[in-house]
Amino acid sequence: MISIAVQENDFESGTEINRLSAMGGGAISSFVGQVRGDGKLRALELEHYPAMTEKALRKIAVKASEQWALHGITIIHRVGRLQVGEQIVLVCTCSDHRQAAIEACSYIMDQLKTVAPFWKKEILQDGTENWVEERQSDLDAAQYWKN
C-alpha cells in the first residue's frame, strides 16, 4: 500500500512507522530529513508544484514497489516555512527482509531529490534569501540506481 502526503503540518514518525509495521513483514526502514542548521540559516521556505507533486511521488513509489517486494511505502513531504531542526521529509518502507526495505527507502529518497517538484529557499539570519541550487552529489546518487 502506497501512502503519499504533502502537507504544511509536522508528522510523527513513530506513528507512521507503527502504521506501516502493522501491514506485516518484519523489516521496516525509515528516513527522516530535517532542516540542517549551519549557523547562518534561520529557516527554509519549501515551494512545490501542487498539480504535479503527488503524481511525481507516486511514480517513484510505484517504481520502488516494482523493484522490491514491499508491503507498504509511506512518503510525507512538508511545504511552507520550516525552522532549523524541523522535519522536512519522511520515507518509510516495509518488507519481509531488511535489504529490500533499506534499499527501497534509499532509492525513494535519491529519486525524490531529483524528480519531485519541490524548491528550497534559504532564509539566513541576516535576512538574505537564496534559492538552493541542485547538487551534483544528488544527481550522482539518483544515477546510481540506473547502473
Contact positions vs other proteins (CB under 8 A) = 33, 46-49, 51-52, 55-56, 77, 88-89, 109, 112-121, 131-134, 138
Angle, helices 98-115 vs 136-144, to 10°: value is 140
Output the smallest distance, CB 24 to other proteins, in A: 28
Residues in the chain: 147
The CA-atom distances, in angstroms, between 78 and each of 62, 66, 81 are: 20, 26, 9
The CA-atom distances, in angstroms, between 11 and each of 33, 37, 124, 125, 141 are: 12, 20, 25, 26, 26
Judged by beta carbon, residue 21 or residue 58, the one nearer other proteins is 58
Judged by beta carbon, residue 21 or residue 79, the one nearer other proteins is 79
Judged by beta carbon, residue 125 or residue 130, the one nearer other proteins is 130
Judged by beta carbon, residue 21 or residue 145, the one nearer other proteins is 145
Nearest to 40 by CA among 130, 134, 133, 113: 130
Residue 83 near residue 42, CB atoms below 8 Å: yes
Output the smallest distance, CB 78 to other proteins, in A: 10
Output the smallest distance, CB 91 to other proteins, in A: 9
Output the smallest distance, CB 104 to other proteins, in A: 16
